[in-house]
Structure 1
Amino acid sequence: MRERLYLLLILILSGALLTYGTQSISISHDEANIFFNGTNIVHYLALYSTQLLGQNDFALRLPFILLHLASIILLYKIGKLFLKKRVDRIFSVAIYALLPGVNGIALLVNSGIVVIFFSLLFTYLYLKEYKVVSQFVLVVCLFVDNSFAIFYIALFVYALMKRKTDLLLLTLILFGTSMYLYGFDTGGKPKGYFIDTLGVYAIVFSPLLFLYFVYAMYRILIKEEKNLLWYISFFSLVVSLLLSLRQRLLLEDFAPFVVLSVPLMIKVFFNSYRVRLPAFRKLHTIFFVIVLVSLFANTMLSFFNKPLYAYMDDPSKHFAINYDIAKELADALKAKGITKVMTKDDKLALRLKFYNIERGGAYKLTTQREIDEGFEKIDIAYYGRTVKTFYLYRVN
């Protein structure tokens, strides 16, 4: 009973944090493009949610928050299958819920959290030996997102090593079909994106946790039993690093499979921790606390980042700049009774459209002052620091 209360508390806190996040950011151009022009499952989730609850940021992001919470429950259920102690299972879901990359893709309009949910759903059903249902989910994944090609590779290797003939054949067929339907770009000249990819993973996990992830994957490789989660996480990492030698990779193509490793990291850590006498656990305890503090700090920074603008010489360098400004600009225009503006910035125009500021009308919006008079100045500021200035002209 107490374990379920801890799980419920994690779900409530995670949901509350993400709900706050919906009010603190604006729709980005990529998200607006998916919302207005997309044809995939992400587009329809966002579209139907806003049709039901109104065209606002909370409704836009609600389906992905709900999928994130469902993923936490699935990860907990998977953890119960091989994490024997209650504290291990609670730490597993708590750390997963704190991962900066997971919170990022749970909050934004993208395929990442959808991929995580279906990956966990298949994994849970397969480990529970619901053979037919798990295979059905695996087929459905083919039409959810093209990134499942990597998932099929990892499962193929798992089936090959574990001599699971039915899974081997199914994943081979699904991988081939995925290549036929979507393809997978491996061309181009080497451009040195290997380090960039490592940097992305460090952001997804937080730097110290990513180092431990690499250690845990290696330790399992040479010393411990390799289960389904390990095959998924390890081979997704290996394939992504190999491909990064030739091309820049999208976060949502690989990170959703790698973060499934959290229960494995918990298992490796506590196995190593508990075989030592209490007097010799001090270094492990210190490392664990440092990693948790670092993880918590990184996650909080990703949500409460606007104060950073006040200390930056160039606000345009802020890492969240693409998710700011549009909502505040739309509110400023509406306060002036303006619902249509002309602008040469196509990306900004699409973002403003989500907030019901259409293109056209009798006003022109620019970021550069064109004449010395006859304009209104709109400053977008956070914590007393002007981040962006717009100039509004009435067109005769």
Structure 2
Amino acid sequence: MQTLGTTFLFVLLLIVHIASLLFNISEMSIHHTEAFGFFYDKSLLFDVARWSYETFGYNDFALRAPFLALHTLNVCLLYAISRIYLKKPIDSLLCVFTFMMLPGVVFSSVLISKATIIMSIALICVYWQLRFKRNAYLLPAISVFLDAGCSVLFLGMFFYALRHKNTQYMVFALVCFAINMNLFGINVSGHPQSYFVDTLGGLIFLFSPLLLAYYIYSLIYSLKRYDDFMSYVSVSAIVFVLILSLRQKVDIETLIPMSVVGLPVLIKQFLSDIRVRLPQFRRGYVVRLVCIIAFACMQTGVLYANKLVYLLDVKSHFAKSYYYGKDLAHKLKAMGIRAIQTQDKRLELQLRFYGISNNASKMLRPTTNCVHYDVSIEYLGKIIACYEIIQAPQSVRQNPQSPH
């Protein structure tokens, strides 16, 4: 009955989570980098996005459907891993809930991002190792040819095999790593520059500050005592990225997603710290757990309700580049405008995705004072951006299709 009840609560939690992500998708516009990739990138990532867009409907939901589906798979995989790894069924719910509340996970789940794909590969390998007590070979061998982000998985496999003195698996991991680096590589040319602080900031955004600190502590403790495979993968991801950032700028989206697969280790450490103590001595540890999870929830809450930030300071809004495009396109269509040029070519790509071409003699120009304007964007009753429509200069009209 406890298992059945926990499964029911998991399904309910998953439905609420997916509904919140769908709301997030409805509120945001396509980013200009996503729009550029949609029109010009021939990689598998955007091939999938284009196929979904053309198959399931010409809208944002269809565009992001494959990545939302993969994220849902990741949540289910993490729940299955937690049911095997954690002591009680209810512990799995805490693990899944924490995963759902990670700011970086929420952010990547609604974007055209390879982070979700890389995360799926790592979680499947961890589940296979826990469920069947055997090391995964087939999926890592396939993932060699997918992306450079899989290199972190091979490093984790190597150190895990080294610890267990498994020569066969160690050689396999090294070969996979070598082939992957040969195919995709990591550019180390140029003068060394430290991006350690920027990379650390990316990690903090992914986990939230308090959660990251305790997560690293839990992973190190697990390596010493439990020797879990998922700990090796997560530690390899974090250490590899931080070391690499001492020399160059790191593609966090590619290399850091696998760091989250050790989340059950964190929850195990959380609950172990509480349960090994007598009830009268647990209060401090319970408060610590609640504070860490609550802080992550607050940070994620800002992502969901980020439009409220416009009430405070418009210019510094962190999600500004994910807005305007869709709302502006709707305003222009309501005015009967189906083609217009813009001074900002990034905005032009966003408008193009929503059916506003740039093959026109008119131009959309932003205004700063919002006193005299032809079209405006308003959120929460406040004017966020305003534009005037002018005659396009002759030099611009001669080259209306410039992608940049």
Same fold (TM over 0.5): yes
> For 1:183-208, what per-residue CA distance to the aligned partner results, in whole angstroms no more than 9, with x for missing partners?
11234444332122221111111111
Runs (4+) off by over 4 Å:
none
| 1:316 shift after superposition | 2.9
> For 1:58-103, what per-residue CA distance to the aligned partner results, in whole angstroms no more than 9, with x for missing partners?
1111111111111011111111222121121111111111111101
Residue 284 of structure 2 aligns with which residue? 283
| 1:385 shift after superposition | 2.5
Return closer, same or farther for 1:348/1:78 CA change in 2, 3 Å cut-off.
same
| 1:234 shift after superposition | 0.7
Equivalent-residue separation in structure 1 for 2:248 and 2:367 (angstroms): 36
Aligned-partner residue type, residue 393 of structure 1: I
Pair 1:36 & 2:39 matched: yes
Using the size of structure 2 for normalisation, the TM-score is 0.91
Residue 358 of structure 2 aligns with which residue? 359
Pair 1:300 & 2:301 matched: yes
| 1:156 shift after superposition | 1.3
| 1:299 shift after superposition | 1.0
Equivalent-residue separation in structure 2 for 1:164 and 1:339 (angstroms): 63
Residue 214 of structure 1 aligns with which residue? 216
Pair 1:95 & 2:92 matched: no
Pair 1:383 & 2:383 matched: no
For the 8 Å contact 1:29–1:350, the answer to whether it is kept is yes
Pair 1:75 & 2:75 matched: no
For the 8 Å contact 2:343–2:363, the answer to whether it is kept is no
Q: How many pairs does the alignment contain? A: 388
Aligned-partner residue type, residue 215 of structure 2: F
Equivalent-residue separation in structure 2 for 1:95 and 1:56 (angstroms): 30
Equivalent-residue separation in structure 2 for 1:126 and 1:238 (angstroms): 22
Residue 235 of structure 2 aligns with which residue? 234
| 1:368 shift after superposition | 4.7
Equivalent-residue separation in structure 2 for 1:105 and 1:60 (angstroms): 14
Aligned ranges 1:1-396 → 2 under 5 Å: 1-129=4-132, 134-222=136-224, 224-312=225-313, 315-368=314-367, 377-394=374-391
| 1:209 shift after superposition | 0.8
Q: Which runs of 5+ in 1 are unaligned?
A: 370-374
| 1:169 shift after superposition | 2.3
Equivalent-residue separation in structure 1 for 2:244 and 2:171 (angstroms): 25
Equivalent-residue separation in structure 1 for 2:193 and 2:304 (angstroms): 32
Report SS of the residue matched to 1:84: coil
State which drifts further: 122-131 or 23-32. Answer: 122-131
Equivalent-residue separation in structure 1 for 2:338 and 2:173 (angstroms): 51
| 1:176 shift after superposition | 1.1
Report SS of the residue matched to 2:336: coil
Report SS of the residue matched to 1:389: strand
Using the size of structure 1 for normalisation, the TM-score is 0.93
Equivalent-residue separation in structure 2 for 1:248 and 1:385 (angstroms): 37
For the 8 Å contact 1:155–1:171, the answer to whether it is kept is yes
Aligned-partner residue type, residue 172 of structure 2: L
RMSD of the alignment, in Å?
2.0
Residue 372 of structure 1 aligns with which residue? none
> For 1:192-237, what per-residue CA distance to the aligned partner results, in whole angstroms no more than 9, with x for missing partners?
3212222111111111111111221232244x11211000001111
Aligned-partner residue type, residue 42 of structure 2: T
Aligned-partner residue type, residue 367 of structure 1: P
Equivalent-residue separation in structure 2 for 1:308 and 1:37 (angstroms): 33
Equivalent-residue separation in structure 1 for 2:337 and 2:267 (angstroms): 54
Return closer, same or farther for 1:226/1:188 CA change in 2, 3 Å cut-off.
farther
> For 1:83-140, what per-residue CA distance to the aligned partner results, in whole angstroms no more than 9, with x for missing partners?
12112111111111111110111011111111111111122123333869x4221122
Equivalent-residue separation in structure 1 for 2:74 and 2:196 (angstroms): 29
State which drifts further: 330-339 or 156-165. Answer: 156-165
Equivalent-residue separation in structure 2 for 1:210 and 1:287 (angstroms): 14
| 1:304 shift after superposition | 0.8
Aligned-partner residue type, residue 328 of structure 2: L
Report SS of the residue matched to 1:266: helix
| 1:386 shift after superposition | 2.2
